[in-house]
Structure 1
Amino acid sequence: MSQCFDAIPLFDSYHSFYALDRGKLFSEDTPVVKKFVQSMTITVPEAITDYKLVKDFLWSKCRQSEATYNAFRGESERFLLWAWCIHGKSIAIMKKRDIEAYIDFVVNPPKSWIGTQVCRRFSVNDGLKEANRAWRPFVVKLSKAKRKESLRSTTPSNIKPDTGDYALAQKSLIEVFSNLSVLYSHLVEGDYAIGNVIAAVKKACPNLTIDESRGSVNRLSARQWEYVLESTKAKADEDPNWERHLFIIASMKSLYLRVSELSCRPKWTPKMGDFYQEEDDWWFIVFGKCNKKRKVSVPIDFLDYLRRYRLSRGLDDLPAVGELSPLLHPIRQHNPGLRARTIAILAQEAFDLASEKMTRDGFEDDAKVLLATSTHWLRHTGASMDAENRDLKDLSTDLGHGKLCTTDKEYFHTDDKERAVSGRTRRV
């Protein structure tokens, strides 16, 4: 089979996918997909059945979450394209050695299958969607830190990623195994595949490394967090538009929020009334993963940030019972709140501001870390700092973890600095 890339994307966006009737295999506005899948039956007669089963899998598994759909779509699509275009087999008859061959392919794909930028899958022409010829199943990107360092340089360089720089992260490889395992469990339940060998392949995979050399989560140090908080607070004192930045970072760190839990979504828009008081205690209602609601305890110290943000918006100092004001006032007035992408951009502006100040103050290594920081670090930072003083069960409940062992594994571990001190005096 040819190693060149002459395939196309198979599945459209989340909203377009679920707008199509479940019983209809191909959308009328993307005839290019139907034509491509039919062409695959020349070498893989079961290609249309493969496509139908994967489409049904995505429909069943991913309806509740666009992020889940995107994750499973990407892996399922890539797997189908490899099976048809390179391996020449239906996914129903894959055996252990076939899956091992796919994992080797994912770890080291042909350069022709790797793109250097994220592209739209389809473009519209005369009412029909055509496959974007620049789209690729794999993408190599510059790290966020490298991009920002280049922009800050006195002589900014137009650094572009090279397909030869592609490397699959261990976390991504683990996700490949996880996504494939869920897919094959679905196929086995439907009597399409004879078994699920993913766990066996994972166990013997030479490319998978268990890394216990680092801490379990990415988090900011106490000094980095202090710079982020104080520099954002100082900026908000000068410019009221930054009160929203300050409230976002304080909320995510203090209430252990995921960016999705702070954002406006199709099924949920966070409101000020989600904060409520019971006797002397304040709580915040969170709509989290798997469509589960939970209440998070609100520290007294956080109320100062809630007050100043509300006052900047012309509201009373603390929320009233059932208040319907959006938690984060939108940039565009017709929106009910802020989307996750916008929240991430505002948080990154706060990280960049702190990074610049740390550089000026001589903490260049700390400043570089902030360039690569994401919003999820704030959740980990808050939980890691509070783990020293909070009961495991209380922290786990506020984080929304289903199991205590998840919290224990991620946040209750030996501090590296303390371990290094205790190890210095060991004798040979």
Structure 2
Amino acid sequence: MELIPRPCFGTLQEFAFLKPETLDGELPIVMDFLNRCPVSSLPIKSYILVKQFLTRHAEPTRYANYRVYVERLLLWCILEAKKPLTDLSEADVQGFMGFCAAPPDSWVANSSGRRFTPAKLRSAVRFNPNWRPFCHNKASGDEVSMAYVAGRGGLGMQMSVVASFFQELYCDDLITINPAQRLHAAGFYAQSLPAHTGANIFNDEEFAALMLTLQDMADQNIKYERTLLMLATVYYLRLQSSEIDSLGGDLTISALGLMRDGTYDLVEDKFPGRWAWKIHPEFVTTYVNRYRQRLGRQFIPYERDQTLLLGKVRGNGSICSGQARLIFRAVCRTVIERLTSSGYVVSPNSALRTASLLWLRETSLHHAARTMGMDEVIRLVRKSNAETAFQRYFAWRD
């Protein structure tokens, strides 16, 4: 008899009592369901891996969102694919995403509801027979749609959480390849990316003009190499103005450490959120290496190069946020002048006329949200909760 997909995880408060590494305290009804699943899927092992993933995201808002998407993956894996999560290939992930786009009726509920029936004793808890991993959206007039239709925003979130889950397995050396990484990076399931009008960011053309003009200025006059490196640092490290003041004196080239996934991170303990900066390798290969070569420092090993990323053009020490803002505005004016002299009409509403230094950080985070998982972007934001980060960089796409 075909098994009906059942919920595996309760509320955040209930989940908090579970042990990540063991099966102590599990609901008997959940264990009975898992024990009846195909043995080839190693359901208990896969369940524990998902539970450990959710443990790392057991906080309000994030837990509820992640539970929906990763539980679907778990149930599909043990009931449809009938293989362990650690054995899934890229083709399997594609198959799962296709399943999510049009799940069978037996996986779709007419309306949302409780996962479990309430009971005083855990042994008496039962599944809500009407619960399913997917739920119909209400059409106009409160009529239930005849067929489940997955939206692009929902598929994008599903892909993002799946990629984050497999990335954690990869970082824990439980798999050798993240089967979702290439699909997620390619944006196969991401929503189309319209120009965002609700946040202070540069569009792609404006940002390209800014960086190309800066490089041209540095090519013509070596003194602008420092300006180019400074603004690239603000963009790639996603620095707030307060962080320029508080961290600038410690942000040296020697602090950049190469990670095994090819990105860079700040390896010094003094940086808050260590191992969560995830700096694109383009920053080092294009901007840091350029500066080192132009200033004759390419022969000094990275780990011994004490050059400040935010150093002053003249004198010692790091630049302050006020100076950085003035330099940034001067560069924007130069970009406008060069574009105008080349025959381009720069709109009065162009970001080049109205932008503040903060726009570099916001633009960088929006660019990151195109290719990175939601959890990775949330960690990059710093000094913001998960709900705010989700609303700013992901929810607007729906």
Q: Normalization by structure 1: what TM-score?
A: 0.45
Q: Higher relative CO (CA 8 A, sep ≥ 6), structure 1 or 2?
A: 2
